[in-house]
């Protein structure tokens, strides 16, 4: 579920075509804000896709996750046997959870002049674990289910946690990734006050400019990116189509500031190095990095410098692109969308582009796959996610062995 389409094939096609999913906000009147655009999921009818009764009991972030998970399960042709499904976990990341429900119900209570008519579904819709819970109930998955919340690293932390559950034998498979739906007046107002968002209201599709000298902030996005990860022997035994193998991950903390990026990238270097050690790979093995690349003035140079420090001269031979240039920054869902993109890069030997890259920045000196997708062998790829609070998580994807 993405600003570039509501099915995986469409998302991948438009990503490789370098299309932008950014436009003026349609879900509310944003005229009073300094930023009036975002990357919204479009043509989404939850009543039609989920059923009106069930959809009314889900916040938008849960609706996104549910539909995306259903597609992943169908694509995997995952067995319906109860004895298999009782060994499947659901671990999803979300940075904020049901903020849309909070905004709508709070607004309604103020209009009515009373809190006494608050919906009995308010709390179950608001809570961050609602998305994994609904997926577990609907598909009969009885393994561990929970949500991870580490800001913009939430989805990657969920993938790392799910990987451990499968690798250690706690689950035979897991639904994982991230989901977020924060395009609300509350979130836009908060980020505008922080001066974190781009203000290119005259040209929204060209506003998100990762690694470009003229970047002026990130573009808020939304959606869900869901992976079904499975123990290798179990997948092979049932003849599953395998796009990529998760080889390992690296996590670290900046221990620096609640929102500011550590300018030297020390924490990011640790995460990159730990990811390679976990996967048993060397810098020369890495072909592609799906960067965090949010298009912020400080964040992009810090990430670029960290990649240079971690990988030395080989850093200049790695394709490094930011798909956020097309999807916007979906916060807790970002690593899910980018995990799907990275797995498909490995499967198809294609590096998606960084669009809107026009003016090289002397502080950002890597190969950012500018503006046009690149056909190239992608044997091993990294997906970077870094969040407010100094959370860093890097996932390593490789061709199936």
Residue 3 lies in a domain: no
Residues 252 and 219 in one domain: no
Whether residue 278 sits in one domain with residue 172: no
Classify residue 2: in a domain, yes or no. no
Which of the residues 8, 16, 152, 276 is marked catalytic?
152
Last residue of a domain, one of 195, 214, 237: 237
Query: pLDDT value at position 111?
Result: 87
Residue 367 tokens read as 């190969």
Question: Taking the chain, what is the end-to-end CA distance rounded to the nearest angstrom?
Answer: 29
> Average of pLDDT values for 81-92?
97
At residue 108, the pLDDT reads: 86
The reported pLDDT for the residue numbered 200 is 98
Q: Which two tokens stand for residue 167?
A: 């690798």
Give a yes or no: residue 78 inside a domain.
Answer: yes
Please indicate, yes or no, if residue 355 is contained in any of the structural domains. yes
Residues 295 and 324 in one domain: yes
The whole-angstrom separation of Cα 354 and Cα 323 is: 6
In the annotation, is 110 catalytic? no
> Annotated catalytic residue: which of 8, 16, 192, 292?
292
Residue span of the structural domain in which 230 resides: 8-237
Out of 208, 237, 266, a domain closes at 237
Same domain (yes/no): 129, 160: yes
pLDDT band at 324 (very low <50, low <70, confident <90, very high): very high
Could you give phi then psi for residue 228, rounded to 5 degrees?
-105, 110
pLDDT digits (tens, 9 = 90+) for 38-85: 999 999 999 999 999 999 999 999 999 999 999 999 999 999 999 999
Query: Looking at residues 318-337, what average pLDDT do you find?
Result: 98
354 and 278 in a common domain: yes
**Which member of 16, 171, 329, 364 is catalytic?**
329
Question: Which of 352, 339, 346, 380 lies closest to 93 in space, CA to CA?
Answer: 339
pLDDT at 401 over 90: no
* pLDDT band at residue 337 under the 50/70/90 scheme: very high
- Considering only CA atoms, which of 148, 126, 127, 129 is closest in space to residue 137? 129
My answer on whether 183 and 301 are in the same domain is no
Task: Flag whether 1 is in a domain.
Answer: no
What is the reported pTM? 0.97
pLDDT confidence of residue 116: 86
Q: What Cα–Cα distance (Å) separates residue 92 from each residue in 329, 384, 395?
A: 17, 17, 15
What tens digit of pLDDT does each residue of 6-37 get?
A: 999 999 999 999 999 999 999 999 999 999 99
pLDDT band for position 109 (50/70/90)? confident
Instruction: Specify whether 31 is located in the same domain as 174.
Output: yes
Is 314 part of the annotated catalytic residue set?
Answer: no
Over the stretch 259-316, which tens digit does the pLDDT of each residue have? 998 988 999 999 999 999 999 999 999 999 999 999 999 999 999 999 999 999 999 9
Residue pair 262/254 in contact (Cβ under 8 Å)? The answer is: yes
- Domain closes at, from 204, 237, 270: 237
Domain co-membership, 210 together with 267:
no
104 and 51, same structural domain?
yes
How many percent of the chain have pLDDT more than 90?
A: 95
Is residue 290 in some structural domain? yes
Closest CA to 265 of 296, 304, 292: 304
Alpha carbons within 13 angstroms on the beta-carbon side of residue 178 total 36
pLDDT over 90 at 117, yes or no: no
CATH code, domain with 281:
3.40.47.10
> Are 80 and 207 part of one and the same domain?
yes
Three-state secondary structure call for residue 289: strand
- pLDDT at 229 > cutoff 90: yes
Q: What is the pLDDT of residues 179-220, one digit of tens each?
A: 999 999 999 999 999 999 999 999 999 999 999 999 999 999
Query: Would you tell me how many other CB atoms lie within 10 Å of the CB of residue 177?
Result: 32
Number of domains in the chain: 2
Q: Are residue 286 and residue 387 in the same domain, yes or no?
A: yes
314 and 283 belong to one structural domain: yes
SS3 70: helix
- The verdict on residue 336 lying in a domain is yes
């Amino acid at each position: 579920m993405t600003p570039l389409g509501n099915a995986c094939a469409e998302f991948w096609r438009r990503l490789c075509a370098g299309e932008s999913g950014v436009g003026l906000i349609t879900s509310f009147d944003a005229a009073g804000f300094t930023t009036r655009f975002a990357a919204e999921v479009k043509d989404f009818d939850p009543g039609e896709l989920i059923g009106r009764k069930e959809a009314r009991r889900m916040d938008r972030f849960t609706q996104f996750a549910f539909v995306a998970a259903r597609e992943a399960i169908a694509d995997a042709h995952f067995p319906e046997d109860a004895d298999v499904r009782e060994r499947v976990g659901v671990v999803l990341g979300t940075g904020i959870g049901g903020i849309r429900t909070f905004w709508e119900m709070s607004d309604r209570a103020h209009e009515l002049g009373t809190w006494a008519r608050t919906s009995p579904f308010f709390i179950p819709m608001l809570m961050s674990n609602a998305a994994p819970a609904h997926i577990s109930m609907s598909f009969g998955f009885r393994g561990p289910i929970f949500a991870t919340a580490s800001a913009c690293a939430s989805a990657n932390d969920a993938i790392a946690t799910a990987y451990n559950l499968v690798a250690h034998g706690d689950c035979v498979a897991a639904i994982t990734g991230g989901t977020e739906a924060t395009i609300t007046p509350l979130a836009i107002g908060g980020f505008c006050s922080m001066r974190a968002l781009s203000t290119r209201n005259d040209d929204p599709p060209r506003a998100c400019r990762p690694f470009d000298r003229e970047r002026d902030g990130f573009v808020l996005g939304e959606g869900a990116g869901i992976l079904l990860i499975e123990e290798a022997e179990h997948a092979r035994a049932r003849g599953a189509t395998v796009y990529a193998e998760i080889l390992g991950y690296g996590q670290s903390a900046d221990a620096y500031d609640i929102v500011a990026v550590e300018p030297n990238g020390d924490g990011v270097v640790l995460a990159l190095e730990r990811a390679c050690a976990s996967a048993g790979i060397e810098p020369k093995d890495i072909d592609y990095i799906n960067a965090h690349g949010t298009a912020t003035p400080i964040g992009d140079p810090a990430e670029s410098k960290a990649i240079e420090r971690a990988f030395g001269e080989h850093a200049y031979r790695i394709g490094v692109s930011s798909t956020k240039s097309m999807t916007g920054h979906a916060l807790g869902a970002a690593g899910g969308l980018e995990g799907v993109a990275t797995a498909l890069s490995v499967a198809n030997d294609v590096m998606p582009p960084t669009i809107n890259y026009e003016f090289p920045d002397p502080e950002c000196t890597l190969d950012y796959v500018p503006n046009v997708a690149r056909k190239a062998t992608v044997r091993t790829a990294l997906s970077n996610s870094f969040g407010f609070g100094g959370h860093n998580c890097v996932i390593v994807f490789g061709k199936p062995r």
